[in-house]
Chains A and B, each alone.
Chain A
C-alpha cells in the first residue's frame, strides 16, 4: 500500500491524482449537516478506494473545482471537498 500522507481534496492542486482514503463530512463546512453531506458525496460516487483527479478550477480563489471520479466529472466547491480525504497515487 502507499505510504503517502492523506490530504483533503479541497486543498489539492489542479492535476492531483489519487484515491479516496476516507469521507469525513465533519470537515465539509457548515453548509449541510455532516450526515447529509456524506450521503450526497456518496451518491455522486465519492466512496473509499475510488480514483480521483482534480481537473479544473474556477478563476476566483480556485473555486469551484472539477473532479473526475471514475468516468464521471463532478463540479463542487472546495469547502465541501475538504470532507474528501485522498492520498496521492505514485
Chain B
C-alpha cells in the first residue's frame, strides 16, 4: 500500500454513529445534492454514498451507515453497518477510514461505540457533532485529552454551518494521506461483561474530559412534560395527524391546479399538430393525459413527506412511538412499528423497508403484512377524485369540511383494518408469543434544518416522478392500447371503446364484480391499477374520455358522478381501502421477507378484505337508498 495510482478507486469514508447523532445531517452537509440515495425513501435504511472533494483536492466517497449502538447487529439494518465496518460488504464500500459521529451534548453511548470501533483494526476518528448546541448549553469538551484517552483523532463539527465541517475535512485529508493499511480485526461480539467494562471506561473518559451543567436539556424536559403527558400527549398526537391530513388537502390545491392547467395546455397544443387522429389521441389521451393525472398529485406527496420529515428531524417520531406503544401493543404491534406504519401513509414501500428497524422477525413480519393497509399517497388521487365527485363540499359543525372528514374516515378505516389484522395475526399465526421489547432513545428536540429537509423532499419527489415516468407511463400506454384496439367497425354507432379489448376484459370479470356495484369501466381501471393505485384515475379518465368525447375528458369527476350511483362510488372507495392494488408493494414484500409466501399471504388476505368491504358497502348503501 505504498503507491497509490490515480486508477485506484477513491478512498471510502464510513460515517458510523448512534441513532439521532445528526449523522445524516452531517452526510447531507458533506455531500449535498451529489449523494446517491437508494431507490426508496423513508428512514435511513439503505446505504447512501456521495462523492466529496477534500480541501487537498482528493476525491473521496462518503458512506452513510444506519445508526447503531453497537456492532453486535440485532437487525438487518445494523447488520449492514457491521458488515461495511468489518469490510465484509461489497468492496466499493469497504472503508479506508471510519468516522465515528457523536452528539457532542450526549457522548456517553457514542464513546462506547468508538471504543468498539477501535477494535476493528481500521483507521478511526471521532467527530463531535452538533458542537454548537453543546456550547450553547455550556458543555465544554477537552478534545485533546479525549483524543489521548481514546487513542484516535478527535475533531468537532457543526453540520448546519458552512464552515462547520472544515476541521473534519482537514483531518480526513490528514488520515487519508497516511495511507494506513487495515490491520487485523480484533472485534468479537461482546458479552455483557465486555460491554459493561467498555461503558465504564467510556464513563471514566467522559468524566475526565467533559465539563458542563449536570442537568440535561431543560427545553426538552419542559416540552416533554406536555408532549409526553399521558392524556394531553395523545390528544396532541391525534391533532397533529388531523392537521396533517387537512393540510394535504388544502395546501396542495394551488399547486395541483397549476399542474392540471399545464397539462391541459400541453394537450391543447397536440390538437393543432398535423398528425393522424390516432396518433393525436395517443399523445393527448394516452401520454399527456395519463402522466398529467398522476403528476398532479406531486404537491400532496411533497406536503405529506414534509410533515413526516419535520416530525422525524424534530425528534417527535420517537415520542409518537412511545405514546403509541401500548395502543399498538394491544393490537400485537411493536411501538417501533409506528414509524414504518406512519411512513406507509406516504407509501408502503419506504414503510416496509423501514421495518428493518424492528429487530424481532415476528414483529417485523406483522408490520410488513399490515403496512399496505395504511392509506398511502397513491390512494389520495383515487379518494380525491371520488370524494370530489360525490361528496358535497360543505362544512359540518361550522368549521370542518365534509370532504376532509370523509377523507379522515377513510384513513381511520385503514388504520382500524391494520390494527385488527395485526391482532388476528398475533393470535392466529404467532399464537400470542411475547414479542420484542420496546426500547427506544427519545432524543433531545432539535430544529429541523432547511437544507437537510430540502434534500430529503427533493429525493422523495424525484422517486415519485421517476415512478410516474416509468411504470405508470408504460401502464398508461398499455391501457390506451387496450382501450383503442381493435378499432370500431365501419359505421359503428356505439362509442369506440365498446369494441376494444378493455371492454372484453371488463365484461369477462363483470359477474364477479357485479355484487360490488362495479361496472365494466371500473373493472378495466382496476387491472392497470395493479401497477400502481393512482393509475386507476388516469385509466378512468382514458376510458371515459374516449367513450364520452371531449367534454368528459375535462372533468373525470363530472363524468363519474353522472354515470355511477353513490353506492357504487362508496363501494369503490371501500375496495381501495383494502385492495392489494400495487405490484411494487408486493414486490418489496417478497424481497424484504425473502420469499413468495408472505407476498401471496398479503395479496390474498387483502383481496378478500377488499371484496367483502366493497360488497357490504354496496349492498348496505343500496338498502339505505343510495343505489
Q: Mark A29-65, 1 if CB is under 8 A from B, else 0.
A: 1111001011111111101101000011111110110
A39 touches B326 (CB 8 A): no
A57 to chain B, nearest CB (A): 7
Does A68 touch B at the CB level, under 8 Å? yes
Does A77 touch B at the CB level, under 8 Å? yes
| Contacting residues of chain B (188-216) with chain A, CB-CB under 8 angstroms | 190-192, 195-196, 199-200, 203, 216
Does B424 touch A at the CB level, under 8 Å? no
Q: Which residue of B lies closest to A46 (CB)?
A: B199
Does B69 touch A at the CB level, under 8 Å? yes
A5 to chain B, nearest CB (A): 23
B442 touches A58 (CB 8 A): no
Partner of B322 from A43, A48, A58, A71 at Cβ < 8 Å: A58
Partner of A66 from B196, B234, B442 at Cβ < 8 Å: B442
Chain B residues whose CB sits within 8 angstroms of the CB of A79 once the complex forms: 437
Assuming A43-B70, A60-B326, is B440 touching A37 (CB within 8 A)?
A: no
A30 touches B434 (CB 8 A): yes
Assuming A43-B70, A66-B322, is B439 touching A55 (CB within 8 A)?
A: no
Partner of B327 from A44, A60, A66, A70 at Cβ < 8 Å: A60
B195 touches A42 (CB 8 A): yes
Partner of B326 from A40, A45, A59 at Cβ < 8 Å: A59
Chain A residues whose CB sits within 8 angstroms of the CB of B443 once the complex forms: 73
Chain A residues whose CB sits within 8 angstroms of the CB of B229 once the complex forms: 56
B218 to chain A, nearest CB (A): 12
Assuming A42-B195, A77-B325, is B108 touching A71 (CB within 8 A)?
A: yes
Does A72 touch B at the CB level, under 8 Å? yes
B187 to chain A, nearest CB (A): 15
A68 touches B216 (CB 8 A): yes
Q: Which residue of A lies closest to B318 (CB)?
A: A75
Chain B residues whose CB sits within 8 angstroms of the CB of A74 once the complex forms: 439-442
Does B109 touch A at the CB level, under 8 Å? yes
B344 to chain A, nearest CB (A): 22
B4 to chain A, nearest CB (A): 37
Total contacts A-B at CB 8 Å: 123
Does B370 touch A at the CB level, under 8 Å? no
- B contacts with A, residue count (CB < 8 A): 47
Partner of A80 from B228, B323, B335, B437 at Cβ < 8 Å: B437
A78 to chain B, nearest CB (A): 10
B475 to chain A, nearest CB (A): 43
A37 touches B108 (CB 8 A): no
Chain B residues whose CB sits within 8 angstroms of the CB of A31 once the complex forms: 434-437
A59 touches B195 (CB 8 A): no
Q: Which residue of B lies closest to A28 (CB)?
A: B437
B108 touches A72 (CB 8 A): yes
B192 touches A72 (CB 8 A): no
A39 touches B321 (CB 8 A): no
A74 to B439, CA, bound (A): 7
| Contacting residues of chain B (563-592) with chain A, CB-CB under 8 angstroms | none
Chain A residues whose CB sits within 8 angstroms of the CB of B69 once the complex forms: 43-44
- A contacts with B, residue count (CB < 8 A): 40
Does A7 touch B at the CB level, under 8 Å? no
Does A12 touch B at the CB level, under 8 Å? no
Assuming A40-B74, A42-B196, is B335 touching A64 (CB within 8 A)?
A: yes
A8 to B431, CA, bound (A): 29
Q: Mark B317-335, 1 if CB is under 8 A from A, else 0.
A: 0100111011100100001
Does B230 touch A at the CB level, under 8 Å? yes
A48 to B70, CA, bound (A): 19
Does B72 touch A at the CB level, under 8 Å? yes
B434 touches A29 (CB 8 A): yes
B199 touches A39 (CB 8 A): no
Assuming A59-B231, A66-B322, is B109 touching A44 (CB within 8 A)?
A: yes
A23 to B105, CA, bound (A): 26
Partner of B192 from A39, A55, A59 at Cβ < 8 Å: A39
A86 to chain B, nearest CB (A): 16
B206 to chain A, nearest CB (A): 8
B236 to chain A, nearest CB (A): 13
Assuming A38-B192, A64-B335, is B441 touching A73 (CB within 8 A)?
A: yes
Q: Which residue of A lies closest to B330 (CB)?
A: A60
20 contacts between A and B (CB under 8 A): A37-B437, A39-B192, A42-B196, A43-B69, A43-B70, A47-B203, A58-B230, A64-B335, A66-B224, A70-B108, A71-B108, A71-B216, A71-B217, A72-B441, A73-B442, A75-B440, A75-B442, A76-B438, A79-B437, A80-B438
Contacts A38-B192, A58-B323, A63-B325 aside, 15 further interface pairs with beta carbons under 8 A come to A29-B437, A32-B437, A42-B196, A43-B109, A43-B112, A47-B200, A57-B230, A58-B326, A59-B326, A66-B224, A71-B217, A72-B109, A74-B439, A75-B440, A77-B437
Q: Name B's A-contacting residues (CB within 8 A).
A: 69-70, 72, 74, 105-106, 108-109, 112, 190-192, 195-196, 199-200, 203, 216-217, 220-221, 224, 228-231, 234, 318, 321-323, 325-327, 330, 335, 434-444
